[in-house]
Chains A and B, each alone.
Chain A
Amino acid sequence: MNRRGDIKRDIKEALGNKNLRGALTRFGEAYLESRARAYAGKDFNALREEICAIKRNAADKMEDLAQRFTRAAEARGTKVFRAATAQEAREYIANLARQKNVRQIVKSKSMASEEIHLNEHLHQLGLETVETDLGEWILQLSGQKPSHMVMPAIHMTRGEVAQVFSKEVREQLPPDIPKLVKVARQNLRRKFLEAQMGITGANIAVAETGTIVIVTNEGNGRLTTTLPPLHVAVVGLEKLVEKFSDIKPILEALPRSATAQKITSYVSMITGPTPVAYPDGTTGDKELHIVLLDNGRTQMQADPVFKEALQCIRCASCLNVCPVFQIVGGHVYGYVYTGGIGTVLTAFLNGWQNASEIQNLCLGCERCKLYCPGKIDLPRLIRELRRRTGEKAGAPSISSQVMAKVLPNRRLFHSLLRAAGIAQKPFQRGGMVRHLPLFLAGLTEGRSLPAIVSKPLRDRVAQTPKTSQIVGDNQRQGVRVGFFAGCLVDFVYPRIGEAVKELLTSAGIEMVFPMEQTCCGVPALYTGLAHTAAEAARQNITAFEHAGVDRIVTACPTCAQAIKRYPEILAGEPEWHQRATTMANQVEHVTGYLHGVFQRLAGARLKKARGTTVTYHDSCHMKGCLGLTLEPRELLGLAGYNLVELECSDRCCGFGGSYSIKFPQLSRQILDNKLDTVAGAEVGTLALDCPGCLLQISGGLTSRGSAVTVKHTVELLDL
């Protein structure tokens, strides 16, 4: 059921929905600030270490905890049902409703019940099931699906809600939010008072005490668990924690990360059934049933890589910071769980084939990883998903077939790039091209791109004389640094490599360019071509070993983080793994390296570029993977630039390598947002540290006719 449709069509639809984009963009902007305020005085990293340890332990012992939970809960009078599948869970609840003569059910928000399509099932049996969370009720009345895990109806406007409610209450309602909320209160209040069964989810389930914790804001959770004589909680196995004290860090992080609240209005900790009060003044015994839901979770737990996804506390911050989600919203993902984590969950809970398309939506910007309170390396999980899907699918696309053939053969790859440099000549206009060859072809859609140069960096560095100027009294002779260029610097922006060489030489450091170096392997890695990526890694390791350098710098943060991942890529080959670890430890982004050099070379002074105002774009991998944010700013400051901060400076530019080929409209929209902020900064120069961002942003600016020039930080420094 619920098989997703055409993803490209869904994306087009989402891009056409201005309400959705407006709401998501506003939210994305406000979220970061209010989240930071909510975490004030708290150590997020310490907190997530704690949560990670708690959830990892729980994942390790999932079955044991499930049994302990069952025993503890039963000792307090709770009835626990272990549901292996969605169907078992649905049937248990339906039978219970039948036995207890239930006709009306109220529900508070539960993703697990969405996951098992409980409402549809109960509805088919003639039971009235009412969603009482305001957002969920809106969706239920309008026959839509949630587009966000925490804010399910974020894609709808007040006008649309007014229409939906007007139809329900048969009265023309104005698009006035407080009024609409009142209408919901009045109508749902009746439902609460009449219902015979209340269904909830749970945010945490404590094994040692048999306690469930429910976190809500509206108060519907309290009413659902208080008024009806029967309470059913549908709880995924991943919600289990071992100890009661484990609640603490999760409860600290969940509201802060989910809605930027220090705490939600209501948190209920329920241990066993409590009495129920009847309108005639009598009290009775309530029944509490907890459905512990597996539905693919044990399979996830058994998987050495994907077990990590069980550390998720469902805060949805990976959605909130995702540049793609911010533009398309949740519906494009097609299933209950959306965004980055949804991509992984969908594979396990809804079937592998259903995640094969949506996993491509990930740009690889790695932003989510920084914000995850469960410390999940989501980008790694998505790469692994792609790798396995690639293995399973059998027939890769034409571009990945070409990549798998061409990339491991450096000579072929480079001669094709050189040929492209000549072949594109007729299409060039002012140094920009409209068409690129082979798998780079899609890059030019709707955008001007720089030409592949006729003389790549490798040819240029070979010709420059190897003289070293010594700065001041800082004798740095004898220091040799290897330069890893990466394809873009080598073949498109050799000027960046030349700037690096000049700076290093001026600082008395010899720059070595190993000719055997090739692509860092990222395009293959992100397409799921593990063997191709591994081959690129081996070639680069060998090339730099031969060069005999003890430090490697690159001007591309994506290349740097790729090389840092070589040990992961070559994990299965012990000898190579060792050599990969050595290379990974040697590599550094040039800006970070230079920052260190200038700190050591106290006497060195950068030449001042007085009065020039620049702004700075934080590239995803520069900030997110390498943690370099202050270093470029300080270097630019030392060089006398007047730095104006760019609004949302760390928001992705939408390049993502081959991403802009797969989802050109999406990439374009993300770029447009970036270009708007650049225009808003009102400066002549944008500095950044990634040749990919440089390509994307300068291409965008050129096609807008903007006069802003984009420079790599090293191009703005002069010793």
Chain B
Amino acid sequence: MNLHDHDELDRLYALFKEQAEAISALVYRVTDPSAAGKKLREIINQLAVNKLVAVPSPLVNSCLNNAGAQTAAVHTTNLRNYAPEADLGLSEVDLAVAETGTLVQDSTAPEQRLVSTLPPVHVALVQTGRLVHYLSDAIDLFNTNKDTSSLPGYISFISGPSRTADIERVLTIGVHGPEKLYVIFVDRAGGACVE
């Protein structure tokens, strides 16, 4: 689903990239799941990832299929057991907020939180059409007003990797959550998904 026209999306993507990179996220944009798979393979090779945990979704699945990362063991079930030892977590998020470089996800399923918090690296896939401009736009999308029972049990807003400044106010990346956050925007998520 596209919320905007093309030019608007380009502007929002540029703003997201600028804002997210300012808080130490790494941001990429690819055309389709095949290219997303290639990007993922690069990351896996570069970081020498042995064990990968992923929460299945059509986009995640086709990205994994296209990654062809034979070197890494991939787990998509029993994530509570595998995530603590995994080198990388992969998941799809629902929205991206341009003004703050924030990812938004219905993470009522605990697996969504496990893969994006426990491993030292989180790779988030997001459909480019799911960019919104303001943080308040994202909150409005959840704010149905009429039917509060439809509010997800756990909504996560993720902006950059985990950070602390608790010792001498020196910014240090990677405390309890990931020390690296990759965001891959996929323009045509429903496109070709075979290699």
Contacts and interface: CB of A to CB of B under 8 A. Distances in A.
Nearest to B169: A27
B84 A193 contact: yes
Contacts of B7: none
Nearest to A77: B153
A493 to B, nearest CB: 41
A268 B155 contact: yes
A263 B102 contact: yes
Contacts of A264: 159
Interface residues of A, number: 72
Nearest to A211: B151
A276 B111 CA distance: 9
Interface in B125-163: 135-136, 139-140, 142-143, 145, 148-149, 151-163
A244 B143 contact: yes
Contact of A268 (B135, B154, B167): B154
A270 B166 contact: no
A262 B164 contact: no
B167 A177 contact: yes
Contacts of B156: 222, 266-268
B139 A248 contact: yes
A280 interface: yes
B172 A265 contact: no
Interface in B86-115: 99-100, 102, 108-111, 113-114
A189 B79 CA distance: 16
Given A180-B167, A217-B163, A279-B80, A192 B158 contact: no
Interface of A: 23, 26-27, 30, 41, 72, 75-76, 132-135, 138, 151-154, 156-158, 161, 177-178, 180-181, 184-185, 188-189, 192-193, 208-211, 217-220, 222-223, 225-226, 244-245, 247-248, 251-252, 259, 261-281, 283
Contacts of A225: 154
Contacts of B149: 75-76
B176 A132 contact: yes
A156 B167 contact: yes
A251 B135 CA distance: 9
A279 B118 CA distance: 14
Given A72-B148, A248-B135, A219 B169 contact: no
Contact of B164 (A134, A158, A211): A134
Interface string B159-181: 11111111111101011111000
A218 B169 contact: no
A209 B151 contact: yes
10 contacts: A41-B99, A154-B169, A181-B164, A209-B148, A223-B118, A244-B143, A245-B140, A264-B159, A269-B155, A271-B153
B163 A218 contact: yes
Contact of B110 (A30, A208, A217, A276): A276
A147 to B, nearest CB: 12
B62 interface: no
A41 B169 CA distance: 26
A135 B117 contact: no
Contacts of A75: 149
B109 A157 contact: no
A277 B117 CA distance: 14
B35 to A, nearest CB: 28
A222 B161 CA distance: 13
Given A75-B149, A219-B176, A248 B110 contact: no
B19 interface: yes
B110 A177 contact: no
B152 to A, nearest CB: 7
Contact of A252 (B77, B79, B135, B157): B135
A280 B79 CA distance: 10
Contacts of A267: 156-157
Contacts of B140: 245
B153 A270 contact: yes
Nearest to B151: A271
